[in-house]
Structure 1
Amino acid sequence: MRVFLCEKPSQGRDVAAALGCNQQSDGALLGGNDAVTWGFGHVLSQANPEDYDPALKVWAYDTLPIVPSSWQMMVPADKKKQFKVIKNLLLKASEVVIATDADREGEVIGRELLDFVGYQGPVQRLWLSALDEASVRKALANLKPGQETEPLYWAGIGRSRADWLLGMNLTRLCSLLARDAGYRDVFSIGRVQTPTLRLVVERDVAIARFVSKPFFDVMAGFNGQFDAKWQVPDMLGDEAGRCLVRSSAESVVSQCQGQQAVVSVFETKRQKAKHPALFFLSALQKNMSSRYGYSAQQVLDTAQALYEKHKLTTYPRSDCAFLPMSQFDEVNEIVRGLAQVGEFSSWCQGADTALKSACWNDKKVAQSSHHAIIPTGKQPNLASLSEQERNIYTAIVQRYLAQFYPYAQDDATAVELTCGAHRFKTRGVVECVKGWRVILTSEGDADESQEGKGEVQNQKQSLPVLTVGQSIPVSSVRVMEKKTTPPAHFTEGTLLDAMANIARSENIPAQFKAILKETAGLGTEATRAAIIETLKKRGFIDAKGSGKSKKLMSSESGRALIGALPDEISNPVMTAIWEQSLDAIEKRTMTLDDFMQRQEGFVRAIVAKVKSGELQLTLPKHVEVSHPCPLCAQPMYSRKGKTTFWACANKEACGLILDNARGKPAAHQKCSCGKGVQIRKSGKEKSKFYWSCSAWKQGCTKRHFDDKGKMGALIGA
């Protein structure tokens, strides 16, 4: 029997349909000599420290570091039923085809099951970039040998084990130190999340410390036809070329007012604005954050639904903006499908499917596991999509169709003038050929040409025709006082960009920048959104504002943690270099054992330095706000889950939990049952409320009507 091992049920159904496996079985689909089964993402998980040794359930300094001698996996309770199905099929299999997502994590999901069950037979790989029927059939006809993708598994297992070592040990270590300083929260440490938090903290600190300074521009008008800006001489300008002394600017005004200026440079060049790059995941997330204020996780989830549920787009977790030449034959089919949709029909009619933009590049695609995110050949029904799905799908369609339009072209004119000892410059751009801008004029960010991008976006003005040596009267000169501005707070889009391009960070030492340019940055396309969500859920960063203006800012505990940690743990350099090592494992230039030895040595060294006092992790003293529990009088502390709530410190004997209301436990009254308190609850109608006992699990069924916010008549006993 040939067993196809998929990542999720929907993926399994798509593969089964192409194979003709339509016989229903519990957790599988059968047909002929084939069986298709699936997990729900990871079926297995890393064992917890207490699974290795029950004594490790208690967090204590003397049990650190925790380094397993042999790594163990476990089957979570909610996955046991499906695991049994998978195990029974693998034990009968004569051949296995791994049909999980085509990336490192997908490889791990499949192969960790083979290892856990002890499967030793032949393995092939189904490599899918899209789940529409044509793409699945094409991939089935071109199965890869298993050994070709096996290094992805080694790298994925290395990532998982390194994360466990760092996370388990340093989270316990920092949380124990935090408790000594009065903090009750768990101070979570992660190989990627902690350096990401540091980026946010450093940005917030830079903003808080920023001192605005005035600077002065001088703008000259010439015959009312155009303005030009004074070029500050080196001896008068700061490092950014700004004039900081008003008297110097005013001197230029007095010397140039009413004088003649001479044209020293007049050049007009035709510029091609290159096609905007196709989307990969981070670029899509950044674009949607800027345009609609969507979070990174929202974009990932929606892109996954467009790929998996609707079959309208290709695999979303890509880091590549290019397409293989082999897919050029599919262009006409895709465009024909899009042309049937009214919103896209005019764009499709203007598309020349014979054009090949720079997105077609086999060499670039070969450097990645996936190609760019593009539409599939399936005809879309936009009415069946949510607003968020429609917006993201349309953006993907726009980028794709733009490739089949000519270059946009502009005439860019540069003008320089001299007035005495002073130079003035201006630039003007006039659009000559709209080209691909027919489709993307409403896109918002447009991502225009790499050539002269700033001039195209910022100087849409027409300049008169001038000749070098021509004299022009200076009709007006004025000083414009401006102020330096602090860096902007991160948004989800700009934080994703900073994570992916960590080498650009101002705080990265120069000797590491060249190395980091070659790495994948902080995290991967598939994990960055989850990292940001984790930091928010753990209370280290907060999302403030709404829509496009939503900002990410560090919390008090986030700043305290980064302030206490040594550079070895929080510096983005370290984790980016680790990611480079994982890439080396994929390329077979480093072994998994070598990588793990390095990680074990790193963790042991950090723990030893803290225990010996060589390394000081000092958190500022923290006094946590509390309120007395109405049942047992023990303190109640604020906690964060999906929402903020208040929990009694006497968890075992009391365990009362109350909602948060303006920074305090929600309104409550003691119940006559003596076991709980009556808590105000919303009824089925928004304007109706009732009071319900917190001890309902202990059998109290007392209910009361609401009487203007106070407990009213008893309605149940």
Structure 2
Amino acid sequence: MKLILAEKPSVSKNIADALKIKNRQDGYFEGNGYIVTWAFGHLLQLKDAKDYDEKMASWKMDNFPFIPPAFQYKVKSDPKNREYSDKGAQKQLKIIQQLMKRQDVEAIISACDYDREGQIIGDSIIYNLKTGKKVFRLLLNEWTPTEVLSGLNQLKDNRELRPLQDAGVSRQWADWLIGINLTSVATLKYQKGTGKALNIGRVLLPTLKIIYDRDKEIVDFQPENYYKLQATFSTKEEKTYTGIYTEGKEEKFRQKEYLENIQKQINHQDGMVIDKQVQKKKEYPPFLFNLSNLQGYITSKYKGWTADKVLKVAQSLYEKKYITYPRTASQALEESLIGKTAKVVELLAADLPYKEEIKFFSSKRVFDNKKVESHSAIIPTYMLPKKLSSDEEQVYEAIKNRLIMQFMPIAEYEETKITTKIQGESLKGAFITKGKVQLLEGWKKVEKIQSKDVLLPYVQLNEEVKTSKLETTEHTTKPPKEHTERTLLRVMETCGKHIGEEGELEEEDVTTILSGFSIGTPATRAETIKKLKDIGYITTNNKNLVCTELGKKVVETFPIKDLFNLQFTGRLEKALYDIEKGTFSKKDFLEIIYQFTIDSVQSIKEANDIIIQEVEYKRKEVEIIGKCPVCGHAVIEGQKGFGCSNWKNGCKFVVWKNDKFLAALKKKPTKTMVKALLKNGKASVKGLTSKKGNKFDAILSYQKNDDNDYYSWKMEFDK
């Protein structure tokens, strides 16, 4: 018997289905020689500072820097109350431990995602629960039945993945050290009042700085006027075209008078076509999606999308077996996937109106091992979805279309450049006209991409044309645009090397990305942008991202400038990548982080005292629902129920929000219902649902049981 640990319940269900296991128990599946259990992502987390030392329970400047003698893990905290362990995680860990200890279990297989985080999710659970049994690793790029069965026949010894574990642990420990120490000290130094924190993070601050820098460029921008001279020419067939006066390669002029003098010299004189260049050019489809490009594409095309939402929807499609692993930096596929991809393309093409134009071939633009790192680009699997939500459909269609485009004909266009010279004048320059004509739509047909080409009339070399209009126009230089999630993701992905909104990645950019020199990883960038919004360092203006006043103050005041430096952050991410590849040691990396943390804390302590943020404490008004029928104290609403405020002294009266009796009747207790119960002893409730699905009304009362301290519901009907 082998025990498989998946990262999530949905993935364990995919594995169980592939193995044809029907027997589901509490917390696991069992059958056909396998037990399949699951985590809920991270079941364990690093201990808090106060778990190592009681004095760290209160923030005092003298307590920092704090570096634990050895990092330890605990059950993850309840998200609603961090003082307590998450009960669901606690229960699932106990189930996993019991399964690991079973005598008939001979080996354990970690089936968590094939990345840094997936590795430490599995390893932290397996090794903290302690086992002497052999541990294997299932490494998959998709969760289709074929891949699961194939993967189970090609398991790796988990010890071979030690570098990946080291990279994951190094990232986790480094972010804990920098986050805990610098957030605490910065909050003590620069904040007045309690209840919030000034968040400081290794990836957070350089990302904030990118937006700050762009905002500053816009504020500091000095607009300048420039001028163009435009002529309209008429052919013998009375077709018209326009040209811009150009000297050398310059068509923008600072002196308006200069162009006005040229305009006077020309004075409606005829022109001649002295040069005509026609070139046929090919336009290739954009590369396959990696996560950053998918996020950029969706957020710019559709309203209401964020990078974080795109990742969540893509993750859902991945777990439903419809697409391959989404957290990838690659825009190409491994060459070993040629046969599999051919079958996927054939399936996807079957119902398309232009299917005859789709011709699969082994393209180097698509299949190239040199351009793949760990995971291939995102493509659909052979499992075709039958029903998708509207969000899932938008993301799936984008991924599907991007794959289909690669095997459609290459788009072709004709590019024409006409040079028109005014006759009889010894002008330095001439009028240049450019236009494009789409000859073959090709892959653009997939997404109905409309060409914005300028159509030109047919003219011949040395043809005379009439100058029908001359105009000197005034223009103003424009400031750079505010960052969008698309442009921000591109800067993070390439560590600032490429900052254009559109276009393919240059070879240098691809090399940079695939060597790990970036800000964050594909998996964390969206989360970073979301956190910057949540903590109030940035805000959105339509689709644009801008710094808040708090964000500006953090950049201008916080003294650790390395944390704002893209190159510094890029080098740290590159070091983590090198640990993953076994070319740099975890020990050396952590030594760098330890020293950086110590030096940074000291620098903050010695910096000038400035208040960046003032926090006003507001006492939360608690609404009293009614009197407790047991002890007479106030009943108030909590997160999980309506309970007696005297609960600390032992009063057990509570109406739970997830009450099973009411849930069976498709109802939840409301504030109005509980108020009526406390005031009148009963409440009239409408819209209850019977087992057969019929709606009915009833009068409910909530009465204490005679034989214990608990309450039960009683139901009666209005006569």
TM, length-normalised to structure 1: 0.79
Amino acid at match of 1:378: M
In the alignment, does 2:373 pair up with 1:377? Answer: no
Residue 585 of structure 2 is aligned to residue 591 of structure 1: yes
Residue 324 (structure 2) aligned to one of 310, 314, 319: 314
- Once residues 201 and 670 of structure 1 are traced to their aligned partners in structure 2, the CA distance between those partners, rounded to angstroms, is 51
Is the CA contact (8 Å cut-off) linking 2:245 and 2:430 kept in structure 1? yes
Q: Quick one: which of 415, 419, 432 aligns to 1:425?
A: 432
Report the equivalent of 1:249: 259
State how far apart, in whole Å, the 2-side matches of 1:701 and 1:552 are.
53
Whether 1:129 aligns to 2:129 is no
Is 1:489 the counterpart of 2:482? The answer is yes
**Kept after mapping to 2: 8 A contact 1:542/1:553:** yes
Flag the 1:493–1:513 CA change in 2: closer, same or farther, 3 A: closer
Q: Which amino acid aligns with 1:190?
A: G
Instruction: Tell me by how many angstroms 1:26 deviates.
Output: 2.5
Percent identity at matched positions? 30
Are 1:299 and 2:310 counterparts?
Answer: yes
CA distance in 1, matches of 2:554, 2:626: 39
Distance between the aligned counterparts of 1:62 and 1:244, measured in 2?
A: 61
Residue of 268, 280, 299 corresponding to 1:258? 268
- Residues 618 and 2 of structure 1, relative CA distance in 2, 3 Å threshold: same
| CA drift at 1:74 | 0.8
Checking the alignment, whether the CA contact within 8 Å between 1:288 and 1:392 is kept in structure 2 is yes
How far apart are 1:286 and its partner, in Å? 0.6
Alignment equivalent of 1:656, drawn from 621, 641, 645: 621
Match of residue 194 from structure 1: 205
Query: Residue in 1 aligned with 2:646?
Result: none
Q: CA deviation at 1:403?
A: 1.6
Aligned with 2:353: secondary structure?
A: helix
Amino acid in the other structure paired with 1:85: I
- 1:539 aligns with 536
Aligned to 1:706: none
Residue 204 (structure 1) aligned with residue 198 (structure 2): no
What is residue 225 of structure 2 aligned with on the other side?
214
Which amino acid in the other structure matches residue 19 of structure 1? L
Pick closer, same or farther for the CA change 1:106–1:600 going to 2, 3 Å. same
The offset of 1:399, in angstroms, is 0.9
Cα shift at 1:303 = 0.9
1:598 to partner: Cα distance: 0.3
Q: CA deviation at 1:480?
A: 1.7
Where does 1:401-440 land on structure 2 (aligned, <5 Å)?
Answer: 401-419=404-422, 420-440=427-447
Among 540, 544, 549, the alignment partner of 1:556 is 549
Is contact 1:178–1:184 with CA below 8 Å preserved after alignment? no
Provide, for residues 258-289 of structure 1, a one-character-per-residue CA deviation record: whole Å limited to 9, x for no partner. Answer: 23445454222211111221111111111111
Aligned-partner Cα distance in 2 for 1:122–1:466: 79
Deviation at 1:418, TM superposition (A): 4.3
What secondary structure, in the 3-state scheme, does the structure 2 residue paired with 1:504 have? coil
Residue 175 of structure 1, CA deviation: 0.7
Contact 1:516–1:573 (Cα < 8 Å) also in 2? no
1:82 is paired with a residue whose SS is: helix
Deviates more, 1:205-214 or 1:166-175: 205-214
Assess, with a 3 A threshold, how the Cα gap between structure 1 residues 657 and 297 changes in structure 2: closer, same or farther: farther
1:58 aligns with 2:54: no
Correspondent of 1:399 among 394, 397, 402: 402
Q: 1:347 to 1:91 in 2, by over 3 A?
A: farther
Maintained 8 Å contact 2:487/2:499? no
**Are residues 225 and 596 of structure 1, via their aligned partners in 2, closer, same or farther at CA, if it must alter by over 3 Å?**
same
Contact 2:247 2:428 in 1 (8 A): no
After superposition, give the CA deviation of every residue in 1:682-712 in whole Å (9 maximum; x if it has no partner). xxxxxxxxx979x99xx99999xxxxxxxxx
1:523 Cα deviation after fit: 0.9
Return the alpha-carbon distance in structure 2 between the equivalents of residues 109 and 536 of structure 1: 27
1:441 aligns to what SS in structure 2?
coil
2:582 pairs with 1:582: no
* Paired residue total: 620
Stretch of structure 1 that moved more, 412-421 or 168-177: 412-421
Give deviations 1:63-122, integer Å, cap 9, x for gaps.
111111101111122211111122233344432222111212111111122331233443
Given the superposition, is the C-alpha separation of residues 210 and 593 from structure 1 closer, same or farther in structure 2, using an over 3 Å criterion? same
Q: Which residue of 1 aligns with 2:49?
A: 49
Q: TM-score, normalised by structure 2?
A: 0.79
Query: Which amino acid in structure 2 is aligned with residue 594 of structure 1?
Result: D
CA change 1:54–1:700 in 2 (3 A) is farther
What does 1:351-370 align with in structure 2 at a 5 Å threshold? 351-354=358-361, 356=363, 358-365=365-372, 368-370=373-375
Counterpart Cα distance in 1 of 2:432 and 2:625 = 73
CA distance in 1 between counterparts of 2:113 and 2:173 reads: 21
Task: Name the Cα RMSD after superposition.
Answer: 3.6
Partner of 1:388: 391
Deviations 1:194-244 (A, max 9, x none): 11111112222222333333221222222253212223668xx7xxx7423
Distance in 1 between the 2:633 and 2:602 partners? 51
Q: Which amino acid is 2:314 matched to?
A: A
Partner of residue 564, structure 2: 570
Structure 1: give runs of 5+ residues left out of the alignment.
Answer: 445-456, 627-636, 638-646, 649-654, 659-667, 679-690, 704-715
**Alpha-carbon spacing, 1:417–1:153, altered in 2? closer, same or farther (3 Å):** farther
Residues 177 and 346 (structure 1 numbering): CA distance in 2 closer, same or farther, change over 3 Å? same
C-alpha contact 2:50 2:56 (8 A) present in aligned 1? yes
User: Which 5+ residue runs of structure 2 have no aligned equivalent?
Assistant: 77-84, 501-507, 638-669, 683-700, 702-719
- Corresponding residue number in structure 1 for 2:23: 23
The separation in 2 between residues aligned to 1:675 and 1:177, in whole angstroms, is 40
CA 1:617/1:487 → structure 2, altered by over 3 Å: closer, same or farther? farther
Q: Is the 8 A contact 1:226 1:463 kept in 2?
A: yes
Counterpart in the other structure of 1:522: 519
Partner of 1:227: 242
**CA shift in 2, pair 1:563/1:261, >3 Å:** same
Q: For residue 712 of structure 1, what is the aligned residue in structure 2?
A: none
